[in-house]
Structure 1
Amino acid sequence: MSALPNHVLVEWMSDQKLGSRELAELVNKAVAELTGRPGGLDDSNIRAWRSGRVRCPKSVQLRALEMVSGKSATDLGFERRTRSPATAPAQEEPPVLRRNLIQGAVAIAVAAATPAHAAPRRIGVADVERLQQRFADIVASDHRHGGQQTIEQQAAALSNEALRLQTGGAASQRVRGYLYASAAAFRSSAMWAAIDGRRYNSAIEHMREAQQLAEMSGDQAIKFRIWSHAGTMYRHMKRPADAAAANDVARNLSITRRDPMFASLGHARHAAIHATAADISATRRSFEAAQEAMLRADPDADRPMWMRAFYDQAELDSLALSAFMTLGQYDAAEAHAHRCLAALRPHMHRSRAITTSRLALTQLGQGDLEPAVASAMHVPKDAATTHPRVIEMLATVGNELRRKAPTSPQTRLWTEYARCLKGTGR
């Protein structure tokens, strides 16, 4: 009888955009971390797993694969080999799917795996700093890719890792507060990835857990982030009353009185919520307040890494672009789009793709077909084929072109380009 393909593994690799050679390299690196010797897998071994010719990898390879994927052998479609009673089952590790994340995650896992007979390990600031580096990796990945389920899964797994450290050893009250804040920060990143990917049910689940963790941490900045994200989530869900209520919680936190930059972000997001409710005057007032608060803010003040990484004049203009586009004021929206694109920092790949897509829609709203198509075609192909919000906006570009000018050269050009995009998408 011929072997049956491991469809579960094949589907997982496809979801994570991993080829056989790349997965082999990741597993080899994890084997080296476990044993001190490099693994010997190549792409032919992975193809044997995929085809079903190998029903289950060897124990150390399987353990390494579980560490890389964050899934058990059975969840990956393998039939686990029979274990002796003395062999402990493998523990699930966080899903680390990019090479620049695996070493840190393995280090955390090894540090947390204290034998039962040993004295409790002292959890200190170094453990928190290691988690903070992982958080920086998550934020950087979000700015590059945005909305991907892998980012959501990585962030959620690292939140759980921070909580496991809570029970893995003794720690001061201050360090425990840091650990809860780290867990809340990771969970809020999972929430944002789900929002950005239009997975609202998952986002709500992450939000609830993040809120509880933030309360236990007492960290005002992370509370602001979570409630501000909640306001954005409800705005995208077309629930302006809930959006305003959630964002009001963020805006009323004491951190907005201590630091005008937080106040600015609160006002800017509230302006976008007012636009969803079609309140033009309130939208303008809130953006004026956001701009005024940003001008008062000390640019060199000590702020959380996530805040420094994204909120600046470009983001304020991005929110204004979204708001005025919602209100149908396309000329004002286009002006903010150009300002945003001119000020965006190089690492803001996702934001640039979203802003360029919105720019195309604002130009189309003014009847400028040729600039609109040119803008839409400037959206990077990876974002145009993988980012849910960008895909949705570019589909709207095509629909509007066909509605406004079905036989125009610009419509034909975009239709052909979109067909090619679809052919290259995964």
Structure 2
Amino acid sequence: MDTPTNTALTVLLAEYGYTHQSLADEVNQASGRIFGRPGAATDRDVRRWISGTVRWPTHRYLLPLAEIFDRPPEAMGFVPRGRTSRLPAPPPSVRPEQEEPVKRRAFLTTSTATTLTLVLRLEETPVRGHLTMTDIDRIHATTGRLDAHFIAIGGGALLTVATTYIDHLRKTADGCTYGPRVEQALHRALSNLHSTAGWAAYDAGDTPTSRLHHAAALQTAILTKDGHAQARAWADLSVQSRAEGRHREALNINRAALQTRHARQDPRIAALLHARLAIGHARLGNPSASARSLLAAQKAHDHFDTTAPPPPWLRFLDAAEIAGLAAIAHRATGKLPDAERATAQALHLLKPSVHRNRAYYGIQLAQLQLAQGDTTTARATATAIDTTTVSSPRIARRLATLHHQLTTT
């Protein structure tokens, strides 16, 4: 039986500019920092990881890889042995000194949370003393890694990790001294963390907790007078309202968010809000308004600045995601063939490393095929959905429902 190629790791090598040998050298250096002595990885090891011959490397390689690429093993395309993806912590002799270690590690109750915490390096953020912009840069890098984790594989244990880091930064805010510029940046990070925690709770199906975090994200963004964070919070609250069936409220939130300065000036935010506005119009039975919003989203996408990287939370928004959101709008207006074509387009355009959305839109495609009476194709589509590297209870439930529908059809 042929082993599947690790396309996610292949993409990462190209993205970071590594050759097989240079990645092996980097792994060995990182191993020296983590374990106190250099590793022994070779280019042959890297080839075996990429070919899929080795699907779950030893922890002496996994921990360095997680540090190098700032993501957990599943997001690098590795497949756990058996039921666990637990990574051991670095040896105590080389672990950085910590204050209140029991409190800081109390949330490590699941294997995924352990992995995420090691990757995030939460110990780098001080809770007393003077806070500088260098500390803020590390905090924003950490929140970016959280967003990247969600985009790649979903919420999973992210809610526990994000809320723990929020508590940690609250202690930082109370226990450190800093100037106005640092204070604003710190609260911007807190707003982004609440948004990420809200999405993680949404992925877990915990609606009340999701709404609380999204509301806290908006409140914090308003207090710090950060327009970009406010735009993110408003966009997230519109999805929250839609998920709870309050489609008119979601529509009004989207309209208000589109009037903000950042939405008018940032094509990425505008594209996201217009696409979600299209879904709102569709759910309220206004197909013509939905079509106009989809066109506006596409026009905004055409004006993306591709020379500058987007903020981490917006990296998911590309042509694939806009096609996927258009499919949801088409489905809501009853245009199932259009929805199927748009979903297939989204799957075709998705990057190999975006496992969560690939599973999400794969399920959506099978549901659309089933709704149109094409049971055979729907079964084939459902069988091809790979959730091995996805950590999302919401998607797992959707897939289980899909399989149940297929078995009873």
TM-score normalised by the chain length of structure 2: 0.73
Residue correspondence of structure 1 range 5-404 to structure 2 within 5 A: 25-26=88-89, 28-29=91-92, 32-34=95-97, 64=101, 66-70=103-107, 97-98=114-115, 101=118, 104-108=121-125, 111-112=126-127, 114=128, 121-148=129-156, 150-301=157-308, 303-307=310-314, 309-382=315-388, 387-402=392-407
> Secondary structure at the residue paired with 2:294?
helix
Does the 8 A contact of 1:235 with 1:276 survive in 2? no
**In the comparison of the two structures, how many residue pairs are matched?**
328
Does the 8 A contact of 1:128 with 1:179 survive in 2? yes
Does the 8 A contact of 1:69 with 1:97 survive in 2? no
Q: Residue deviations 1:116-150, cap 9 Å, x none?
A: xxxxx3211111111112112211221233132x2
Instruction: Tell me, in whole angstroms, the C-alpha distance in 2 between the residues paired with 1:163 and 1:281.
Output: 46
Aligned equivalent of 2:7: none
Does the 8 A contact of 2:268 with 2:300 survive in 1? yes
Report the alpha carbon displacement of residue 103 of structure 1 after superposing the two structures with TM.
6.4
Report the alpha carbon displacement of residue 23 of structure 1 after superposing the two structures with TM.
6.5
Does the 8 A contact of 1:162 with 1:180 survive in 2? no
> Secondary structure at the residue paired with 1:195?
helix
Instruction: Tell me, in whole angstroms, the C-alpha distance in 2 between the residues paired with 1:103 and 1:20.
Output: 23
| Structure 1: stretches of 5+ with no match in the other structure | 1-16, 36-59, 77-94, 115-120, 406-426
Instruction: Tell me, in whole angstroms, the C-alpha distance in 1 between the residues paired with 2:231 and 2:273.
Output: 9
Report the alpha carbon displacement of residue 237 of structure 1 after superposing the two structures with TM.
1.5
| Structure 2: stretches of 5+ with no match in the other structure | 1-79
Does the 8 A contact of 2:148 with 2:313 survive in 1? no
Instruction: Tell me, in whole angstroms, the C-alpha distance in 1 between the residues paired with 2:394 and 2:341.
Output: 21
Does the 8 A contact of 2:116 with 2:161 survive in 1? no
- Report the AA paired with residue 305 of structure 1: P
Over 3 Å counting, the alpha-carbon distance change for 1:300 and 1:346 in structure 2 is same
Does the 8 A contact of 2:89 with 2:118 survive in 1? no
Instruction: Tell me, in whole angstroms, the C-alpha distance in 2 between the residues paired with 1:315 and 1:21.
Output: 31
- Segment of structure 1 superposing worse, 133-142 or 294-303: 294-303
- Report the AA paired with residue 402 of structure 2: V
Instruction: Tell me, in whole angstroms, the C-alpha distance in 1 between the residues paired with 2:330 and 2:211.
Output: 27
Does the 8 A contact of 1:69 with 1:96 survive in 2? no
Instruction: Tell me, in whole angstroms, the C-alpha distance in 2 between the residues paired with 1:171 and 1:200.
Output: 35
Identity among equivalent pairs (%): 27
Q: Residue deviations 1:378-403, cap 9 Å, x none?
A: 1113368x533323333443344355
> Secondary structure at the residue paired with 1:25?
coil
RMSD: 2.9
- Report the AA paired with residue 143 of structure 1: I
Report the alpha carbon displacement of residue 106 of structure 1 after superposing the two structures with TM.
1.9
Report the alpha carbon displacement of residue 299 of structure 1 after superposing the two structures with TM.
2.4
Over 3 Å counting, the alpha-carbon distance change for 1:170 and 1:337 in structure 2 is same
Aligned equivalent of 2:29: none
Q: Which has the higher contact order (CA 8 A, sep 6+)?
A: 2
Aligned equivalent of 2:6: none
Over 3 Å counting, the alpha-carbon distance change for 1:246 and 1:397 in structure 2 is same
Report the alpha carbon displacement of residue 303 of structure 1 after superposing the two structures with TM.
3.8
Over 3 Å counting, the alpha-carbon distance change for 1:70 and 1:19 in structure 2 is farther
Does the 8 A contact of 2:238 with 2:253 survive in 1? yes
Instruction: Tell me, in whole angstroms, the C-alpha distance in 1 between the residues paired with 2:383 and 2:279.
Output: 26
Report the alpha carbon displacement of residue 29 of structure 1 after superposing the two structures with TM.
4.7
Aligned equivalent of 1:80: none
Over 3 Å counting, the alpha-carbon distance change for 1:23 and 1:65 in structure 2 is farther
